[in-house]
């Protein structure tokens, strides 16, 4: 399918305006295809001119423009040319379109638990033409009239309220104007929990095999939904605009969620089958609030073109954490943001592919998707948090209200947003935008002190040489000794290219000195040598979770920049994790620390590190209360070499009560046994027979490929290369284990294969799916110069999509960081 160029979109928007869409979908045609009839009514500013409509169909029955037949052969590369346009036009397209298995278009999945099929629509970013004929760009909004034919007994929902007029025949109310990438329909034998809040009908949906889990989690999710609706309506001064509010948890979803107006889709892993810790519930709650924020910012007011995609996502990221912290039980949401989201963003901002938050020239839809990353989400969120501090929260909120009310049901740009904020402040937004939004890179902030009490202070901001910028930082600094907070400065501004004085003179010189202690700005804190040396003893004693999170950010990012020895990170984890009380920090450090150390430590130290991490997990289990045992027990399952214990857990024996019956935990133990070479295919298949679900099938794929044998690795590559029936999630399940091995000699010969197979996979998987697989499969654990050289050679010589290229560039950058660390600290 042709890639839409921005200049083409600008010209098409200049030429036409879309009045309405009438879409009729027939989901009963077959298991592989559905019927799609579309009528588009549009005006042309220059009668006699030509344009094109987007369509990707398996077959086309008829095309009529203003009553005149167009032969289906005119459709080429996903485009139908339209000539001799009149002032007012009507286009009708009747087609048959394929269901997909890559998470885009109309995705159809069959749950092997009960052989029931589920369908959901994913039109983002340019997938709408895989559902219906349309002018697929965000600034050609229009209302929709939708009808759907589905098997009798199915639940059917979309962007507006619907009613079943006959058995299996559904008619939807006319929608408000929508961008094409928001169009969705969800249909299937979904389990549903319904509620209502202040006149807004609410519904939660999940596949039938998750019905009991949906009902178990529904009260909490509905509570978050209601709290969010109240918070946003009060903050924005605009009532929820989309009628009903459906939330579908759908199988094999590529992203966390998608903000379709009135009908949000989520990955169904959020309906936890087993135990769910507070961090996981918070993550789900935050995602619910993120997508809800889009109902106003993104859906009600949409970007004109994809170069402003960041503003949608940065704003929703900011509002989700703000509302989570202010309106729900999760008042520590900013701690979770710092350890989970910001570390993702810091890595993206260090990579060669870094880019400014805004002002990126998205010349086409493919290049827009490459910037759909931790910079557009986490860094943009941090910039907006700084903006609210810079202009004052009242001015910020008033500006947001103006922006939403002025551009409701239309499109807007960054300039429109800053104009709205600027109407409520005298602050210099032009300079602020240049420094924060239009410049790449992450500043480092270092605070050096002398004397006790402190007599000399040097607080410096270092901007990356490759990306010079002037970003003023509003932040604070705190000092600790023996776990006691000795002092904390008021929030002050650190800026300029010179070293500036921070308000520390006369204060006690602490053992632990933490810049950006409240994590108000986007920066990597650089710790003095004395602080680094004290961390294993000091960090476990610090009572402020936000400060502990900032310290972990400094450690993890310092390891990535070869300024912190990975052994210091391991030593600090050993002392801090067993006594950590914040569940977000427990959850994320238990994932991030082992993963980083698996690449940054020399080969000869990795097994010992895993042993030490397992011992740390056991100490945490021994010290934990019943409700805090889940995270360390999961960590132990991923690192233990105790075969008897792992086999007992697989058998659902000797498991802590909080995890009893948790099938996903049992899979973790089995996958660890497979990684150790202690189970074979027959044992994996026998266990999978007890979990005949989509999730169980994917866990079995991981278990098979992670085994430390040449046959297992060869099987995995054969599946990725030749099995065209694999779904996006199946490919991902294989990718996560294909380079895991106790000895790099086992998988080193497959490095060349990665750079050959993964780019080719994009030909049958969508951009989202192939990028994720490329990220997960990259052999960063083969931490050698030869791996880096192979990556650079592939980037020079192998044809690949923009998003697979971005994945390889980013993972190769992490590999190079690990190599630099080894050169500095030994290895």
273-323 tens-digit pLDDT: 999 999 999 999 999 999 999 999 999 999 999 989 889 999 999 999 999
In this structure, is residue 487 part of a structural domain?
Answer: yes
> Smallest Cα–Cα separation from 560: which of 790, 346, 774?
346
The shares of helix, strand and coil residues in the chain, as percent rounded to the nearest 5, are 45, 20, 30
In this structure, is residue 139 part of a structural domain?
Answer: yes
Do 427 and 521 share a domain, yes or no? no
The arithmetic mean of pLDDT across residues 566-580, rounded, is 98
In this structure, is residue 818 part of a structural domain?
Answer: yes
Do 399 and 455 share a domain, yes or no? no
Cis previous bond, 803, omega within 30: no
pLDDT digits (tens, 9 = 90+) for 21-47: 999 999 999 999 999 999 999 999 999
Which structure tokens are listed for 373?
Answer: 């990353």
Place of tokens 């999940």: 206
Q: What is the 3-state secondary structure (H, E, C) of 195-259?
A: EEECCEEEEEEECHHHHHHHHHHHHHHHHHHHHHHHHHHHHHCCCCCCCCEEEEEECCCCCCEEC
Confirm if 614 and 570 have CB atoms less than 8 A apart: no
Residue 307, CA distances (Å) to 312, 359, 526, 718 in order: 11, 7, 33, 38
pLDDT of residue 363: 87
pLDDT of residue 25: 98
Tell me how many domains the chain contains. Answer: 4
pLDDT of residue 236: 98
Cβ neighbours, 10 Å, residue 366: 18
Place of tokens 């350890």: 339
The arithmetic mean of pLDDT across residues 181-208, rounded, is 98
Contacts of 725 (CB under 8 A, 6+ apart): 101
Q: What angle do CA 513, 516, 522 make, to 5 degrees?
A: 145
pLDDT at 141 over 70: yes
pLDDT at 565 over 90: yes
Strand partners, 169: 149, 166
Cis previous bond, 329, omega within 30: no
pLDDT at 335 over 70: yes
Strand partners, 538: none
pLDDT at 369 over 90: no
In this structure, is residue 596 part of a structural domain?
Answer: yes
In this structure, is residue 607 part of a structural domain?
Answer: yes
Interatomic CA distance for residues 740 and 742, integer angstroms: 7
Do 138 and 38 share a domain, yes or no? yes
Interatomic CA distance for residues 169 and 379, integer angstroms: 45
Confirm if 108 and 139 have CB atoms less than 8 A apart: no
pLDDT of residue 595: 94
What is the domain range of residue 389? 301-436
Interatomic CA distance for residues 110 and 314, integer angstroms: 34
Do 17 and 58 share a domain, yes or no? yes
DSSP state of 491: P
Do 488 and 537 share a domain, yes or no? yes
Confirm if 167 and 153 have CB atoms less than 8 A apart: no
Place of tokens 């921070």: 502
Contacts of 608 (CB under 8 A, 6+ apart): none
Interatomic CA distance for residues 193 and 63, integer angstroms: 41
Buried b (16+ CB within 10 A) or exposed e, 474-507: bbbbbbbbeeebbebbeeeebeeeeeeebebeeb
pLDDT of residue 1: 65
pLDDT band per the 50, 70, 90 thresholds, residue 631: very high
In this structure, is residue 663 part of a structural domain?
Answer: no
Backbone region of residue 85 per phi and psi (left: phi > 0; alpha: psi in -120 to 50; beta: other values): beta
Buried b (16+ CB within 10 A) or exposed e, 246-260: bbbbbbbbbeebbbb
Q: Are strands 523-526 and 443-450 parallel, antiparallel or unpaired?
A: parallel
Cβ neighbours, 10 Å, residue 697: 18
The arithmetic mean of pLDDT across residues 569-583, rounded, is 97
Interatomic CA distance for residues 188 and 205, integer angstroms: 10
> Smallest Cα–Cα separation from 816: which of 368, 50, 824, 678?
824
Place of tokens 């490329």: 774
pLDDT band per the 50, 70, 90 thresholds, residue 751: very high
Interatomic CA distance for residues 330 and 182, integer angstroms: 29
pLDDT of residue 301: 97
Would you tell me the crossing angle of helices 751-761 and 767-777 to the nearest 10 degrees? 170
Contacts of 698 (CB under 8 A, 6+ apart): 729, 730, 732, 733
Do 426 and 525 share a domain, yes or no? no
pLDDT of residue 501: 64
Do 469 and 387 share a domain, yes or no? no
Confirm if 698 and 729 have CB atoms less than 8 A apart: yes
Cis previous bond, 718, omega within 30: no
The arithmetic mean of pLDDT across residues 248-261, rounded, is 95
Which structure tokens are listed for 291?
Answer: 């997508």
How many residues in total does the chain contain? Answer: 827
Contacts of 100 (CB under 8 A, 6+ apart): 106, 107, 108, 130, 766
Q: What is the DSSP string of 44-104?
A: ESSTT--EEEE---SEEEEEEETTEE--GGG-BTTEEEE-S--SEEEEEEEEEEE-BSSSS
Do 539 and 395 share a domain, yes or no? no
pLDDT of residue 496: 66
Strand partners, 20: 41
Do 449 and 420 share a domain, yes or no? no
Q: Are strands 162-166 and 155-158 parallel, antiparallel or unpaired?
A: unpaired
pLDDT band per the 50, 70, 90 thresholds, residue 802: confident
Kindly report the CATH number assigned to the domain that includes residue 364.
Answer: 1.10.390.10
Interatomic CA distance for residues 210 and 48, integer angstroms: 55
* Averaged pLDDT of the chain: 95
> Smallest Cα–Cα separation from 259: which of 288, 233, 230?
288
Q: Which of 585, 619, 640 is the last residue of a domain?
A: 640
Q: What is the DSSP string of 452-467?
A: TTT-EEEEEEE--TTS
Q: Which of 640, 660, 680 is the last residue of a domain?
A: 640
Do 40 and 164 share a domain, yes or no? yes
Do 449 and 348 share a domain, yes or no? no
Residue 317 annotated as catalytic: no
DSSP state of 798: S
Question: Phi and psi at residue 691, in whole multiples of 5°?
Answer: -140, 70
pLDDT band per the 50, 70, 90 thresholds, residue 590: very high
Q: What is the DSSP string of 539-577?
A: GGG---HHHHHHHHHHHHHHHHTTSS-HHHHHHHHHHHG
The arithmetic mean of pLDDT across residues 523-544, rounded, is 95
In this structure, is residue 604 part of a structural domain?
Answer: yes
Share of the chain above pLDDT 90, in %: 89
pLDDT band per the 50, 70, 90 thresholds, residue 762: confident
Buried b (16+ CB within 10 A) or exposed e, 589-612: bbebbbebbbbbbeeebbeebbeb
Q: Which of 135, 162, 189 is the last residue of a domain?
A: 189
Do 428 and 456 share a domain, yes or no? no
In this structure, is residue 801 part of a structural domain?
Answer: yes
The greatest distance separating any two alpha carbons of the chain, rounded to the nearest whole angstrom, comes to 87
Q: What is the 3-state secondary structure (H, E, C) of 397-440?
A: HHHHHHHHHHCCCEEECHHHHHHHHHCCCCCCHHHHHHHHCCCC
Share of the chain above pLDDT 70, in %: 99
- Catalytic residue chosen out of the listed positions 291, 444, 580, 781: 291
> Smallest Cα–Cα separation from 273: which of 215, 194, 188, 191?
215
Interatomic CA distance for residues 46 and 531, integer angstroms: 69
pLDDT digits (tens, 9 = 90+) for 70-99: 999 999 999 999 999 999 999 999 999 999
> Smallest Cα–Cα separation from 824: which of 537, 444, 523, 568?
568
pLDDT band per the 50, 70, 90 thresholds, residue 717: very high
Report the half-sphere exposure of 397 (CA within 13 A, side-chain side).
Answer: 13
pLDDT digits (tens, 9 = 90+) for 666-681: 999 999 999 999 999 9
pLDDT band per the 50, 70, 90 thresholds, residue 767: confident
pLDDT digits (tens, 9 = 90+) for 494-505: 986 555 567 899
DSSP 3-state of 341: helix
Statement: the pTM of the whole predicted model exceeds 0.75? yes
């Amino acid at each position: 399918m042709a890639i839409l160029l921005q200049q083409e979109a600008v010209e098409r928007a200049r030429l036409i305006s879309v009045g309405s869409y009438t879409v009729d979908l027939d989901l009963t045609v077959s298991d592989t295809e559905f019927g799609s009839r579309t009528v588009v009514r549009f005006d042309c500013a220059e009668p006699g001119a030509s344009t094109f409509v987007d369509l990707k169909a398996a077959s086309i029955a008829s095309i009529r423009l203003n009553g005149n037949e167009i032969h289906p052969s005119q459709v080429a590369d996903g485009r139908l040319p339209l000539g001799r346009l009149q002032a007012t036009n009507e286009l009708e397209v009747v087609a048959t379109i394929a269901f997909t298995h890559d998470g885009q278009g109309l995705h159809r999945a069959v749950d092997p638990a009960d052989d029931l099929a589920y369908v959901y629509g994913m039109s983002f970013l340019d997938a709408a033409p895989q559902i219906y004929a349309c002018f697929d760009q965000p600034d050609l909004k229009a209302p929709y009239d939708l009808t759907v034919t589905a098997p009798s007994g199915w639940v059917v929902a979309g962007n507006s309220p619907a009613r079943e007029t006959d058995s299996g025949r559904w008619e939807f109310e006319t929608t408000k104007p929508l961008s094409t990438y928001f169009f969705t329909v969800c249909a299937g034998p979904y389990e549903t929990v319904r509620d209502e809040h202040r006149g807004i009908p609410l519904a939660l949906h999940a596949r039938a095999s998750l019905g009991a889990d949906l009902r178990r989690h529904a009260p909490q999710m509905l509570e978050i939904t209601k709290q969010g609706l109240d918070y946003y309506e009060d903050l924005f001064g605009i009532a929820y605009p989309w009628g009903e509010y459906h939330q579908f948890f759908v199988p094999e979803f590529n992203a966390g969620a998608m903000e379709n107006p009135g009908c949000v889709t989520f990955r169904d892993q959020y309906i936890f089958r087993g135990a769910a810790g507070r961090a996981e519930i918070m993550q789900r709650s935050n995602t619910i609030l993120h997508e809800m924020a889009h109902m106003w910012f993104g859906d009600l007011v949409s970007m004109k073109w994809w170069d402003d995609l960041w503003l949608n996502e940065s704003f929703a990221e900011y509002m989700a954490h703000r509302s989570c912290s202010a309106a729900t039980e999760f008042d520590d949401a900013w701690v979770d943001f710092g350890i989970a989201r910001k570390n993702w963003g810091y890595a993206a901002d260090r990579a060669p592919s870094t880019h400014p938050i805004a002002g990126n020239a998205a010349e086409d839809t493919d290049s827009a998707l490459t910037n759909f990353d931790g910079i557009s989400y986490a860094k943009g969120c941090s910039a907006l948090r700084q903006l609210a501090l810079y202009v004052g929260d009242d001015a910020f909120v008033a500006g947001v209200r103006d922006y939403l009310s002025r551009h409701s049901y239309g499109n807007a740009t960054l300039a429109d947003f800053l104009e709205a904020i600027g109407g409520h402040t005298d602050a210099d937004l032009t300079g602020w935008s240049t420094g924060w939004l239009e410049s790449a890179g992450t500043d480092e902030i270092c605070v050096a002190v002398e004397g006790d009490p402190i007599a000399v202070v040097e607080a410096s901001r270092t901007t990356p040489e490759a990306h010079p910028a002037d970003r003023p930082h509003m932040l604070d600094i705190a000092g600790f000794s023996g776990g006691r907070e000795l002092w904390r400065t008021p929030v002050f501004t650190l800026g300029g290219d010179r070293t500036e004085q921070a308000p520390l003179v006369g204060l006690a010189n602490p053992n632990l000195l933490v810049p950006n202690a409240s994590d108000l700005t986007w920066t990597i804190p650089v710790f003095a040598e004395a602080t680094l040396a004290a961390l294993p003893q000091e960090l476990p004693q610090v009572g402020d979770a936000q400060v502990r999170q900032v310290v972990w950010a400094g450690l993890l990012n310092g390891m990535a920049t070869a300024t912190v020895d990975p052994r210091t990170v391991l030593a600090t984890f050993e002392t801090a994790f067993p006594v950590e009380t914040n569940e977000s920090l427990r959850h994320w450090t238990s994932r991030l620390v082992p993963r980083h150390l698996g690449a940054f430590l020399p080969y000869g130290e990795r097994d010992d590190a895993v042993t030490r991490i397992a011992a740390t997990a056991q100490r945490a289990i021994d010290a934990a209360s019943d409700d805090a045992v889940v995270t360390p027990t999961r960590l132990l399952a991923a690192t233990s070499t105790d075969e008897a214990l792992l086999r007992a857990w697989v058998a659902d024996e000797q498991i802590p009560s909080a995890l009893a019956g948790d099938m996903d935990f049992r899979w973790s133990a089995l996958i660890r046994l497979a990684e150790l070479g202690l189970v074979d295919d027959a044992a994996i298949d026998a266990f999978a027979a007890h979990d005949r679900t989509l999730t169980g099938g994917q866990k079995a794929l991981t278990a098979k490929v992670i085994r430390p044998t040449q046959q297992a690795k060869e099987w995995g590559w054969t599946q990725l290369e030749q099995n065209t029936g694999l779904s996006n999630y199946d490919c991902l399940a294989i990718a996560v284990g294909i380079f895991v091995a106790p000895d790099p000699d086992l998988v080193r010969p497959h490095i060349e294969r990665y750079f050959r197979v993964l780019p080719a996979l994009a030909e049958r998987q969508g951009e989202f799916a192939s990028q994720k697989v490329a990220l997960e499969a990259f052999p960063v654990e083969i931490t050698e110069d030869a791996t880096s050289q192979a990556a650079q050679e592939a980037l020079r010589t192998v044809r690949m999509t923009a998003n697979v290229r971005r994945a390889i560039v980013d993972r190769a950058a992490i590999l190079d960081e690990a190599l630099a660390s080894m050169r500095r600290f030994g290895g």
